[in-house]
Each structure stands twice: as C-alpha cells, then as structure tokens.
Amino acid sequence: MEAIARADNRVVADAELLVEAHAFAAKFVQGPTRAHAAHKALLRAWANGGVQAADEVMFNIAMPLFETEDVKDGLASAVKALTAGTARPVLEFKGR
C-alpha cells in the first residue's frame, strides 16, 4: 500500500515489468478494498456531475464504511496509538 499511498511512478526494466506489476497488484488487493470501491464511486459521481454531485452522494458512500470491521479495527488502533503516543500500526485489511 505504500506505493499506492504515495502514487508510485517509476520505470522498471522490461524483464522486471511482470514481476513488479504482480507485486504491485498483490499490495493493492491486500488493502482496503471497500474503501477503494467507495473512492471509485465518489470519483464516478464527480466525473458525471462535478463537485456538487460528489457532495450529494458522499454521505451515502462513506457512512457504510464505518460499519465494517476494517474501519472499526482501524479507528480503535489509531485511538490506541494516539493515546499511547506511538505510531499507528500497519493494518491487515479483511475486506469486511
């Protein structure tokens, strides 16, 4: 997810391309798949109707995420880390 978070953009040798692409895809599917889907839906609304359309669907797209195990676990770990003054741990997303 590191590469995705920082919008990785780099050149690799032709011989390494397939291996690198598979490694990137493997990182991506281990990430927050439901959040990715929500982000895609929000971008689709924006592309079709602009900022106002995206604003209108934001609540209905975002709120269901807060009912998932992934968000509950993520928020709990973030609060725990903040309270302890430590860095947030890297999460393993379950897609639930």
- Domains of the chain by residue range: 1-30, 32-96
Q: Which CATH class is domain 32-96?
A: mainly alpha
Q: Which tens digit of pLDDT belongs to each residue from 14-24?
A: 999 999 999 88
DSSP 66: G
Stated pTM of the model: 0.62
Find where tokens 């990137």 sit. Answer: 24
- Find, among 37, 25, 23, 29, the residue nearest to 65 by Cα: 37
Highest mean pLDDT among 2-6, 14-18, 44-48, 86-90: 44-48
88 contacts 75 by C-beta, under 8 angstroms: no
